[in-house]
């Protein structure tokens, strides 16, 4: 049986999480086409031409991390193929991320990437776009023979390893318990690999997260205490 913590005060709180994802290795968040470059696989960009981490990937990565943590605490977290009754379970995952039939109370924004200070990202000019990516040769590996597959050489575009992906409103919405904010904060710090081709060393990053509840920043000390209270309530060990 899944345990879902009650609200600490019964009132909804406005949540805002500011995220900065600083890449340690090149990022490959593919757009699935050439996008008018010589690359066979380009990276996703926004309307300004900046490489981005899409909000859909941000939501997916954090959901995966939250699920792993809750399973480690003995919670019954249904998988996507666990039958028609999986959506009836009122889990923390459902409350935070929703289901195909229930919209999430949170919005996950795209994170644009820049080289240098994220505060200056809106000043990015078109002539600097190509300076933010690198086109590298890549091959498909035949894992059975551990050799490069024939005729599968391609050119892959990646964001530079010095790129910082940032949004002051990466996650916004309403929550009913401070532990929900703490769980998202922890999930962000646990998510250290992003994009594709991670098995080849791409997509490693460090994450900085700032949490605001009703416009007041919650400190790391407070968030850790919130997590400890949640763990104890779920029957785990802090």
Phi, psi of 139 (to 5 degrees): -130, 155
Give the whole-angstrom CA distance, residue 6 versus residue 174.
Answer: 15
Q: Which two tokens stand for residue 141?
A: 């590996």
Q: What confidence score (pLDDT) does residue 45 get?
A: 82
107: its two tokens: 């919005």
Q: What is the pTM of this model?
A: 0.79
pLDDT value, residue 107: 97
The confidence score (pLDDT) of residue 22 equals 92
CA dist., res. 108 & res. 169, Å (int): 8
At 206, list the tokens: 């460090």
Task: Single out the residue of 198, 37, 55 nearest to residue 133, CA to CA.
Answer: 37
User: What is the per-residue DSSP string for 71-105?
Assistant: HHTT-----TTS-GGGGGS--HHHHHH-BTTB--S
Please give the helix or strand (H or E) that residue 203 lies within, else none: none
Q: What is the pLDDT of residue 126?
A: 42
**CB 82, CB 158: distance < 8 Å:** no
**pLDDT of amino acid 174:** 96
Look at residue 17 in the predicted model and tell me its pLDDT: 98
| Segment-wise mean pLDDT, segments of 10 residues, the chain, 238 residues | 43 95 83 53 80 92 93 77 62 88 93 71 47 66 63 71 91 95 96 77 88 97 94 72
Give pLDDT, residue 148: 60
Query: How many residues are recorded in the chain?
Result: 238
């Amino acid at each position: 049986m899944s345990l879902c913590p009650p609200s600490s005060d019964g009132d909804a709180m406005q949540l805002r999480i500011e995220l900065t994802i600083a890449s340690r290795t090149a990022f490959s968040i593919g757009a699935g086409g050439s996008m008018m470059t010589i690359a066979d696989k380009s990276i996703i960009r926004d309307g300004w031409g900046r490489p981005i981490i899409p909000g859909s990937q941000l939501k997916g990565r954090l959901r995966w991390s939250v699920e792993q943590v809750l399973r480690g605490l003995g919670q019954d977290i249904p998988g996507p193929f666990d039958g028609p009754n999986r959506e009836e379970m009122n889990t923390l995952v459902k409350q935070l991320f929703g289901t195909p039939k229930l919209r999430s109370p949170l919005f996950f924004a795209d994170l644009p990437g820049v080289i240098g200070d994220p505060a200056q990202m809106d000043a990015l000019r078109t002539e600097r776009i190509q300076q933010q990516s690198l086109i590298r040769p890549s091959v498909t590996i035949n894992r059975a023979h551990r050799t490069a597959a024939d005729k599968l050489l391609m050119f892959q575009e990646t964001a530079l390893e010095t790129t910082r992906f940032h949004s002051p409103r990466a996650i916004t919405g309403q929550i009913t318990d401070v532990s929900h904010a703490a769980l998202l904060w922890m999930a962000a710090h646990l998510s250290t690999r992003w994009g594709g081709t991670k098995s080849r060393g791409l997509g490693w990053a460090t994450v900085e997260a700032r949490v605001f509840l009703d416009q007041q920043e919650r400190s790391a000390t407070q968030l850790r205490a919130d997590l400890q209270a949640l763990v104890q309530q779920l029957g785990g060990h802090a």
